[in-house]
Chain A
């Protein structure tokens, strides 16, 4: 039995610190990860999202509707991006995810107010993410009493007292019961796939490098494309298995509605998985060992969770964060999955999010191939 030795402990500590100091990437992550998290949580993530995109469809132009539009535009919760006469167009914007709210001013709205008939102001809400719209919806509800205050003067002054001049009727679309799981579980598909696909690919190449087998592989007549496809294909299959498991659990355990086409979902999945594999492959050309591969994966995963609209409503983020989010494949895939499963989106509606995914896949893939070295230097 040897007794505890302070000098041995000192030697041990010195060794550990030396090794830590030499691992530049880890040191970078020690600083980088908390800074990134602070920025994301501190600046980007707003649990009380404002300026949510809204469309107004007006069937009854006039003073009252002007006041309502003005009031909506004044509300910090909403951002009126479209005024239209056609309810169909407004509905399409909602389907495509371009707006979260459609406010419909019905025919004879003014006449009914004047008559004191309390017409309905219909608010259609995209409820796939129940958290996103709740504050905004409350704000719209309060409009009923305030929006027309300045118009109800003179002979109409009586309308300003008593019951509100019109009712706000909200229709929650796509997820009428506001079940959070309906939103989270499709989102998990995006996040879990990103995590495993990037990590597995990144590890499989850095493992070869760490063990020295990479030199042997390179000394044999294998082309970069053969190596890349060989490394990626097993991971595509892992991705397919994972997707199936997640979707089965979503359907049979959480009863997530799945109204869209599975074929379309499979197409989007294929692109999404490949895009993530390309990222993993690019990382693996940078990471020197498996630990660094893990860290780089974390670095990519954090924004994919926090800025994609998975953990927090996308629209609630400041513009710069939305721009970062738009670059991430997870953001687009998330919209596609929610669109297909909850809204029953078809190809036309998911295309605006599918092409960025395909573009990302090609850019990341070319990057991976370009970074691939046939040599050890």
Chain B
């Protein structure tokens, strides 16, 4: 197995009854990189992550995490991996400190007290350390969970929507920390529904109906999509949206602030559809590279 791939799995498959939740997924993440894991709700992100850290048995497929076999060596994988669950999974009837302390003991950390203290300090939770974890607000629970799964200085972080419900400042702090840690060699696979977070990743993989259908840097994924986007701006552009959506060649038309993004695969057809609007006074139509969101919405609509 390659020494510099932190995650290297192929053909990962999981069924729930007759439904296939993850369908022959291949992921290879080099050490020290931050990868975004994107996909619509129910596409199989959580299931894939659970298979990676040995919480679910893969029906098919093989590979390694941190050089350990995902099928047989989940004990070793767990020891060196931090997994943050999508749903808050710390003990609400334990205090913040007690939760951190429990985690530290499970991983048999040496300087337990110091590590817990410094984590509390970094989180800014020193004053609230004796509050029950259940009393924290949703965003604070996320921050506690994140800190707890990094307590044992893992080499690999599997984060399942770690910033859902977290405020912008905390989100920025989180990403700064992720990048600092990844510079020091930490590998991160993080699932998210936020486009700006996807853009902060070295690479992204996009899963849909259990299948990986796009991967690469953000620019590559956008280029692979072969989409064209025009931005329509001007007074009261909203009134066009219904009509534009029905035009041939227009995949979708959606608002971003005051601007209307009109996206399609056929550039000529788009030009044709937009031609009448170019003449309207106070309206500008400009071609622009499609955004990641345009691409994802396109992929998702294609599947339907």
Contact = CB atoms under 8 A, between A and B. Distances in A.
A75 to B, nearest CB: 61
B54 A375 contact: yes
18 contacts: A211-B89, A212-B89, A213-B91, A215-B85, A215-B89, A216-B90, A218-B55, A219-B55, A219-B83, A220-B103, A220-B107, A221-B79, A221-B107, A375-B54, A375-B57, A376-B50, A376-B55, A376-B56
Contacts of A223: 75
Contacts of A219: 53, 55, 78, 81, 83, 85
Contacts of B43: none
A15 interface: no
Interface in B113-148: none
B87 A212 contact: yes
B106 interface: yes
Contacts of B55: 215, 218-219, 375-376
Contacts of A211: 89, 92
Q: Pick from A213, A222, A223 the residue with the most CB of B within 10 Å.
A: A213
Interface string B58-85: 0000000000000000110011010101
A349 B89 CA distance: 51
B194 interface: no
B240 interface: no
A36 to B, nearest CB: 31
B102 to A, nearest CB: 9
B88 interface: yes
B85 A221 contact: no
A211 to B, nearest CB: 7
Contacts of B56: 375-377
B100 to A, nearest CB: 13
Interface SS of chain A: loop
A374 interface: yes
A372 to B, nearest CB: 14
Interface in B246-267: none
Contacts of A376: 50, 55-56
Interface of A: 211-216, 218-223, 374-377
Chain B interface category by residue count: 20 to 34
A86 to B, nearest CB: 62
A219 B107 CA distance: 11
B contact patch SS? loop
Contact of B85 (A212, A222, A374, A375): A212
Contact of A221 (B50, B78, B89, B91): B78
Contact of B89 (A213, A374, A375, A377): A213
Contacts of B53: 219
Closest 8 CB pairs of A and B: A216-B89, A220-B106, A219-B83, A212-B89, A221-B79, A212-B87, A221-B78, A213-B89
A215 B107 CA distance: 16
A169 B127 CA distance: 80
Given A211-B92, A216-B89, A222 B106 contact: yes
B103 A374 contact: no
Contacts of B83: 219
B75 A221 contact: yes
A375 B107 CA distance: 18
Given A220-B106, A221-B79, A374 B54 contact: yes
A220 B89 CA distance: 12
Given A212-B89, A220-B103, A377-B57, 8 more contacts: A213-B91, A216-B85, A216-B89, A219-B53, A221-B75, A374-B54, A375-B55, A375-B57
A375 B106 CA distance: 17
A214 B57 CA distance: 16
B60 to A, nearest CB: 14
A362 B157 CA distance: 40
A219 B81 CA distance: 9
A377 B74 CA distance: 15
A214 B106 CA distance: 14
A216 B103 CA distance: 10
Contacts of B50: 376
A266 B54 CA distance: 42
B106 to A, nearest CB: 4
Nearest to B145: A216
Interface centre among B56, B74, B89 (most CB of A within 10 A): B89
A183 B166 CA distance: 63
Nearest to B14: A377
Contact of B90 (A213, A218, A221): A213
A377 B81 CA distance: 20
A219 B49 CA distance: 11
A361 to B, nearest CB: 28
Highest count of chain B CB atoms <10 Å: which of A213, A214, A219: A219
B78 A220 contact: yes
A232 B103 CA distance: 20
Contacts of B85: 212, 215-216, 219
Nearest to A223: B75
Given A211-B92, A215-B85, A216-B85, A221 B54 contact: no
Nearest to B80: A221
Nearest to A211: B92
Nearest to B148: A216
Contacts of B81: 219
A218 B56 CA distance: 10
Interface string B138-179: 000000000000000000000000000000000000000000
A219 B88 CA distance: 13
Nearest to B51: A375
A221 B106 contact: yes
Nearest to B103: A220
